Amino acid sequence: MDDSYAPPSRFEMALDELHALVAREVGADDFGPDDYLPGLRTLLQSMDYDPQFTGQGRRYAWGHVVNTLKARAFAIAAMKANPGFDAERIVAPVVIIGIPRSGTTALHRLMAVDDRFQGLQSWLLDSPMPRPPRATWSDFPEFRKTVEVLENRYREAPGKRAAHSMAAEDVHECCMLLSQSFTSNILSCSWPAATYDAWWQSASEAPAYDHYHRCVQLIGRNDPDKRWLLKNPGHIENLDLLFAVFPDAKVIQTHRDPAKAVPSLCSLLMQLHPIFEERPADQRARIMMARETVKWAHAVRSADAVREQHPGQVIDVVHSDFHRDPAGVIARIYDFVDMDIPGDIEAAMAQRIEEKPELSHGKHRYDIADFGMTAEQVREAFGDYVERFDLIERKEAAA
């Protein structure tokens, strides 16, 4: 989180101020196609109306908007500085999707051990540019800034590291690029944003996916022969748009009992509530649980419809299977993406599985009862999804 920018008295009236501030910081005033403006305007209006910000939360929210627009301007400047970056087609990227908290991150980071893949490192999502040699990353002020922001975040909300640890050099989610077009679910997660949320749910994310695709091309310019490994839970709601930009993508969809996954997500998002908002936490938690249940149930159904049009391009991984037999799941995935697993990579993966780095910062604990819904109510919203993938039985068997 970044509170280094003093927020305006009214966000809605600060559009020009925001652009001027970002232009000064980036040293460029080109923000690319103006399709990002409707979402940005709506978000700023929502920030005046929907949340009950704390003083600190108001600064953090403004800092988040500033940094998101900075990332967009930085990307556009880097594209102009690197003509021909989009000449190479991205071939058969491997993309991990699924309900949040269904094992997407653990699977992503395990597969990222394979250095034949390239991914989206956190610091390059903040400052998109052709990926420089890894040994030079600490020389870049953009890298050091991401390190600082992440450390501040975990200092303010220590429990967030146990729930979802991040580092500047780690691979991260595509949603950070998608959010640069200001048509993104992630922009209505940190604080209440019902006005923006209502607008976002009726808006097309196609321009955001076009920008995202170009950013991936930009970041991978120096490694044109490396296969991409990408990850974003939110792609399940826009699987048609994902296939529009990556027609030959090989998609891994993870599955977990939503009565476990959705409250885990809400618990993660609620880590920042005391920092951002004055409104009672239990009220926010109940609203969030209802919203996330409906959203991800709809996303699963949307993905189902698209999958039917792309036979052979999606493989299913059940969360409990991955925890019970990660090596077996990896072998099945590599067969699906038509890759072998050399001995040194297999050994490196086995070491990561043994060390369980995801648990090194403590265990993320949560209780669905804190969010005002029962497990049965959550599962009911997902229709036959739980039964189709036998999620309850598999989880119990693993236990």
What does the DSSP assignment read for 97-109?
EESTTSSHHHHHH
Tell me how far apart the alpha carbons of residues 58 and 6 are, in angstroms, rounded to a whole number. Answer: 9
Edge to edge, the sheet with strand 250-255 lists 117-118, 227-231, 94-98, 250-255, 314-318
pLDDT in tens, the chain (399 residues): 667 799 999 999 999 999 999 999 999 999 999 999 999 999 999 999 999 999 999 999 999 999 999 999 999 999 999 999 999 899 999 999 999 999 999 999 999 999 999 999 999 999 999 999 999 999 999 999 998 887 876 666 555 444 445 688 899 999 999 999 999 988 878 889 999 999 998 999 999 999 999 999 999 999 999 999 999 999 999 999 999 999 999 999 999 999 999 999 999 999 888 889 998 989 999 999 999 999 999 999 999 999 999 999 999 999 999 999 999 999 999 999 999 999 999 999 999 999 887 655 556 678 899 999 999 999 999 999 999 999 995 444 444
**Pair of tokens at residue 219:** 């970041």
Tell me how far apart the alpha carbons of residues 363 and 358 are, in angstroms, rounded to a whole number. Answer: 9
278 within 8 A of 53, measured Cβ to Cβ: yes
- Angle value at C-alpha 94, between 91 and 99, nearest 5 degrees: 140
200 within 8 A of 181, measured Cβ to Cβ: no
Tell me how far apart the alpha carbons of residues 213 and 247 are, in angstroms, rounded to a whole number. Answer: 12
Q: Identify any residues that bridge with 121 across adjacent strands, giving them in sequence order.
A: 171
- For helices 206-219 and 55-81, the axis angle rounded to 10 degrees is 60
Residue 381: the pLDDT is 97
pTM comes to 0.92
Domain boundaries, the chain: 12-398
- Angle value at C-alpha 169, between 137 and 357, nearest 5 degrees: 145
80 within 8 A of 19, measured Cβ to Cβ: no
Helices (H), the chain: 15-26, 37-49, 55-81, 104-111, 122-126, 141-156, 159-163, 175-178, 194-200, 206-219, 239-245, 258-270, 273-276, 281-307, 319-324, 326-336, 343-355, 375-381, 385-388, 391-398
CATH of domain 12-398: 3.40.50.300
Residue 341: the pLDDT is 97
Q: State the residue for tokens 């039964």.
A: 387
Residue 153: the pLDDT is 65
- Angle value at C-alpha 289, between 284 and 290, nearest 5 degrees: 105
